[in-house]
Structure 1
């Protein structure tokens, strides 16, 4: 049983390696949203509907690489509070969403890939929201 919780503080992230041609951040944001939507759509039983609790069970940041065809090349937990179950859920829901949408060619690096990060925000019940589409957290503990 996990007794520790966490509030949502956006983690510091390393800079993304995005080609100079990808100066249109709207394109990158649109792609991030398409990836997040795919993850949510492919994992409805894991998705939290409603409001995130004030003290989250876990925040799992996953780094992942997608190739030009939308195939998941690699994924790894980048930051966590040590909740093995939440880490496993984050990684498995990402894998279940593959193949991901094909990234726009101008976002690809020299290897024909794009590197991304996403945050899985977990309530005590094990359900999550992705930071890209997360609702505001509750302000009080009931």
Structure 2
């Protein structure tokens, strides 16, 4: 029996495939991967929610100021404040105020009402970090509203230094 005859087309096809494979190997070998100059930093989800208590208190104060611009005192608080109202409030894990009350005041009902109303108007607040929550999933906070005679306030967390002289 004679050996099977291989057609020239099949040989050319095999040689063509080998040539194509060799050409691709050369092209791929010429390619290089250059890593980025700066490493790409990805923030783990846990780090996003790792604010400290002071940072969270500042975020809450900023939210109160942002939501109540017509009540906020710009500039320097007067030397002798009209009123200081300390408000105690509790925020749940979703940033909702679940309780608020005047903790300390000089008896200025209008200032007390303004402090409580501006707190409610600013809610909900950003979600507090889980590590700050108590066993009920809540965070208890205090903030001081510093009132000038004109009824405008600054929050102690963000307040400018008071004037040194009474004008």
Q: How would you bin the TM-score normalised by the shorter chain?
A: 0.7 to 0.9
Higher RCO, 1 or 2 (CA under 8 Å, sep at least 6)? 1
- Which ranges of structure 2 fall in alignment gaps of 5 or more residues? 1-50
Give the structure 1 partner of residue 122 of structure 2.
Answer: 97
Give the structure 2 partner of residue 6 of structure 1.
Answer: none
- When normalised by structure 1's length, the TM-score is 0.81
Give the structure 2 partner of residue 139 of structure 1.
Answer: 164
- When normalised by structure 2's length, the TM-score is 0.69
Partner secondary structure for residue 118 of structure 1 = strand
Q: Which one of the candidate residues 46, 69, 73 is aligned to 2:94? A: 69
- Structure 1 segment 42-53 matched on structure 2, within 5 A: 42-53=67-78
Deviation at 1:58, TM superposition (A): 0.1
Within 2, Cα distance between the matches of 1:140 and 1:27? Answer: 35
Deviation at 1:83, TM superposition (A): 0.1
The count of corresponding residues between Structure 1 and Structure 2 is 117
Structure 1 residue 27 corresponds to structure 2 residue 52: yes
1:16-62 deviation per Cα after TM superposition (whole angstroms, max 9, x unaligned): xxxxxxxxxx7000000000000000000000000000000000000
- Between structure 1 and structure 2, the one with the greater Rg is 2
**After the TM superposition, which parts of structure 1 deviate over 6 Å for at least 4 consecutive aligned residues?**
none
Partner secondary structure for residue 85 of structure 2 = strand
Q: Which one of the candidate residues 64, 73, 81 is aligned to 2:106? A: 81
CA-atom RMSD in angstroms: 0.7
- Which ranges of structure 1 fall in alignment gaps of 5 or more residues? 1-25
